[in-house]
Amino acid sequence: MKLKIKTLFRLLVVLFLISTTSFILYYPIKLIYSRIAERSNILKVFVSYVVDGDTIRVDINKSNVSVRLIGIDCPELSDPREQVYAEESLEYTKKRLLNKEVWLEFDVQRKDRYGRLLAYVWLKPPNRFNEEDVRKNMFNAQIILDGYAKVYTYPPNVKYTDFFVKFQREAIENNAGLWNDDLFKEDTSSYYIGNIKSKVLHRPTCKWGQKISKYNRVKFKTKTEAILQGFSTCRECKP
């Protein structure tokens, strides 16, 4: 009987050691594969031209292609009200990116309907992909922090949306860049309608705002309230 108990005990010890070893080995390997998968979405390129604050052209395999930066939207050069800040955003991007090597990171959707690549632009090869890494080394984040771009969320490319919304709050609180001008914060309507799904803010008279289902509709008293929650303004009704 004692022999059977000892044998059973030894078996349990062996099984425990095997399961523990498997657990210890599995998670570092899983982490390594996760990092490899993330880095497989990284491409080193040369920035040859800056179109505007949120669009650049890069050289890839002897081709020159257009890249739209994910998660941001800069003032439009075509809008007389925003022209001054559009020019400042353009100069900011030129100063930081033109004629430099950068690293593009892709998300779920790689191209938009115009055929442009959609990417996050890293000034250094990304390492940990965490908030500190994004804040220090990603251009998309830095142009938001410095107030030369607004957050523009467009699913399914939402990997860093939470970071971008947080950075935009900081920029607004610091009156950085365009947020120093009331043009981008003043209320031009008695209330606003937001689409929870698309994260776009509309005037109540906007035809697109009126089409939002009651399940995706949210009402805001002020534009700033919506912006602080990561909503971007409709390009048609321009609230």
List the chain domain ranges.
42-180, 186-233
**pLDDT at position 156 over 70:** yes
Which residues on adjacent β-strands are paired with residue 63? 60
Distance of CA 165 to the CA centre of its chain: 9
Here the tokens at position 36 are 């490899």
**pLDDT at position 30 over 70:** no
42-180 in CATH: which number?
Answer: 2.40.50.90
**pLDDT tens digits along 39-75:** 568 999 999 999 999 999 999 988 999 999 999 999 8
User: What integer pLDDT is reported at residue 81 of this predicted model?
Assistant: 78
Q: Per mean pLDDT, which range of 54-63, 153-162, 170-179, 221-230 is the poorest?
A: 221-230
Question: Catalytic site residue 88?
Answer: no
User: What integer pLDDT is reported at residue 34 of this predicted model?
Assistant: 43
Question: Catalytic site residue 76?
Answer: yes
Strands annotated E in the chain: 42-52, 55-60, 63-69, 72-73, 101-105, 117-122, 150-151, 192-195, 200-202, 217-220, 232-233
**Residue 148: partners with Cβ closer than 8 Å, 6 or more residues away:** 53, 74, 85, 88, 89, 92, 93, 177, 178
**pLDDT tens digits along 173-219:** 999 998 988 777 777 778 899 998 889 999 988 999 888 998 999 99
Rounded Cα distance, 9 and 18, in Å: 14
Q: How confident is the model at residue 31 (pLDDT cuts 50, 70, 90)?
A: very low
Q: Per mean pLDDT, which range of 26-30, 52-56, 88-92, 124-128 is the poorest?
A: 26-30
**pLDDT at position 82 over 90:** no
In the chain, % of residues over pLDDT 70: 83
**pLDDT tens digits along 101-114:** 999 999 999 999 99
Question: Catalytic site residue 203?
Answer: no
What pairing do the DSSP bridges indicate for beta strands 150-151 and 232-233? unpaired
User: What integer pLDDT is reported at residue 22 of this predicted model?
Assistant: 53
Task: Tell me what the pLDDT averaged over the chain comes to.
Answer: 85
Q: Which of 35, 39, 57, 76 is catalytic?
A: 76
Tell which residue, 182, 174, 109, has the closest CA to residue 144.
Answer: 174
Here the tokens at position 27 are 């998670």
Answer yes or no: are the C-beta atoms of 116 and 68 closer than 8 Å. Answer: yes
User: What integer pLDDT is reported at residue 80 of this predicted model?
Assistant: 78
Q: Which of 96, 105, 116, 203 is catalytic?
A: 116
Tell which residue, 143, 134, 133, has the closest CA to residue 50.
Answer: 143
Q: How confident is the model at residue 36 (pLDDT cuts 50, 70, 90)?
A: very low
Q: Which of 68, 96, 105, 203 is catalytic?
A: 68
- Asked, as a colleague might, if the bond just before 80 is cis with ω within 30 of 0, I would say no
Instruction: Give me the DSSP letters along 149-186.
Output: SEE--BTTB-TTHHHHHHHHHHHHHTT-GGGGSGGGT-
Answer yes or no: are the C-beta atoms of 68 and 160 closer than 8 Å. Answer: no
Give Dmax (Cα) for the chain: 92
